[in-house]
Amino acid sequence: MRRLVIILLAVIASAYVTLAALPAAADEGVVVTDITGRTVTLPRPAKRVLLAEGRQIIALSLLDPKPVDFIAAWLGDFRRNDSESYAQYRRKFPEIDQVPVLGIGSDGTFPVERAIEIKPDVAVLGISFAPGGRANDVARQLEAAGIPVVFTDFFVAPFEHTVASVRILGRVIGRDARADEFAEFYEPRMKRIADLVARANGPRPRVLLETHASVGDCCHAPGAGNIGRFIAFAGGDSISASVAPGPTAQLSLEYVIAANPDIYIATGGAHLKASGGLVIGPGFDPAAIRERLAAVVARPGFSGLSAVRNGRVHGLFHNIISTPLNLVAAEALARWIHPEAAREIDPDATISELNARFLAVPLQGVYWIDLK
């Protein structure tokens, strides 16, 4: 655990150094070192950004009070997969409906021609578009058309890349100071979790985190990567990390019963409304969320799990994980996994402060919940 903290701090420090070492002189344009280490020069801070991950509007929303003004075009993932959060943005910025939507939210549907036609100042792409990624042709074609490409990442390596990606975005749109301010907000809070976990003694509680929990078959759970790392970071022992060969796997119910997790966490959101799964996040009241969460743990075989018997059943808003607000998820996990040691950690207070100090569109809704 200590090692993880040291690595974390080292990475954060190195990202800080690389970025701080690049003075942005107005006359020689803006120089950005992106997450893959490429150096990109823009003539001036970008006014029109192509967002290849629509949900990164949240990162823009941290950096500027009018995030929608910066979006020249975006992919449809935020609109489609997080309809309730999108509605919150629309209430404040009705013009968001006019932002051109490229593709329907996956990198396989990216219409490069349309993107070139829109001619943004810069294209901010996720890591799946990077060289060696699934859709690296897109970046090549955009650059051939004279559109600078910058890579960020909030998904593959959230611990190493979250703050660095916010800084990259801040540099691109000329909001460096604001990005630094966010880093100063984010890093100590993450460190507080790491310290607290380092101090916690005794065996790590066993955790089952089921992604997109439904009332259908059990149990899709993450491997050791992205969300799985949050569990380890918050001091839990994920029962799926050791058995899932890929980023996600379907655990057998028998394995779940035999592993008998101490804590059960379901992730969900508005996208599960139709299928009877866990709804949570903006647009749902606690009673409705708890009703769905109760239905999820009422599936066959769950009643005997010690997590269910001891009332350690929780729900988490899935879409918060791959954004800069993953801090809230980390804090909620720490509270659930180490309720005693993490008493002073309050994700709601963090949300309030994020709303007051940073977010153009505040987080309003239930993002984490306990069944009891």
- # chain residues binding other proteins, by CB under 8 A: 44
Instruction: Give the closest residue to 235 by CA, choosing from 269, 263, 194.
Output: 194
Side chain identity at 255, as an amino acid letter? Answer: Y
38-46, 64-72, 192-200, 238-246 -> range binding other proteins (CB under 8 A): 238-246
* CA dihedral of residues 311, 312, 318, 320 (deg, nearest 10): 120
Q: Which is nearer to other proteins, 53 or 187 (CB)?
A: 53
* Residue 169 contacts residue 56 (beta carbons within 8 Å): yes
Q: Which is nearer to other proteins, 34 or 77 (CB)?
A: 77
Q: Which is nearer to other proteins, 303 or 310 (CB)?
A: 303
Give one DSSP letter per residue of 87-123, joined into a string. Answer: HHHHHH-GGGGGSPEESSSSGGG--HHHHHHH--SEE
Give the contacts of 54 (CB within 8 A, at least 6 positions apart): 74, 75, 76, 77, 78, 79, 105
- Residues β-bridged to residue 238: 207
To which residue do tokens 């941290």 refer? 62
CA 47 to chain centre: 24
> Is residue 220 a contact point for other proteins (CB under 8 A)?
yes
Instruction: Give the closest residue to 169 by CA, choosing from 77, 83, 40.
Output: 40
Contacting residue, 5, 24, 87, 259, with other proteins by CB under 8 A: 259
200-208, 235-243, 278-286, 347-355 -> range binding other proteins (CB under 8 A): 235-243
> The tokens of 13 are what?
């420090």
> Is residue 260 a contact point for other proteins (CB under 8 A)?
yes
Q: Which is nearer to other proteins, 40 or 293 (CB)?
A: 293
CA 307/CA 9 separation, integer angstroms: 33
DSSP 3-state of 322: coil
Q: Which is nearer to other proteins, 33 or 240 (CB)?
A: 240
Q: Which is nearer to other proteins, 186 or 264 (CB)?
A: 264
> Is residue 224 a contact point for other proteins (CB under 8 A)?
no
175-183, 194-202, 271-279, 344-352 -> range binding other proteins (CB under 8 A): 271-279
For other proteins, the binding residues in 286-325 under the rule CB under 8 A are: 295, 300-301, 303-304, 318
Residues shown for the chain: 372
> Is residue 248 a contact point for other proteins (CB under 8 A)?
yes
> Is residue 225 a contact point for other proteins (CB under 8 A)?
no
Whole-number minimum distance, CB 214 to other proteins, in Å? 8
x/- track of binding to other proteins for residues 94-133 (CB under 8 A): ----------xxx--x------------------------
CA 201/CA 203 separation, integer angstroms: 7
Query: Under the rule (CB under 8 A), what is the footprint of other proteins?
Result: 77, 80-81, 104-106, 109, 211-212, 214-218, 220, 240, 242-245, 248-255, 257-260, 271-276, 295, 300-301, 303-304, 318
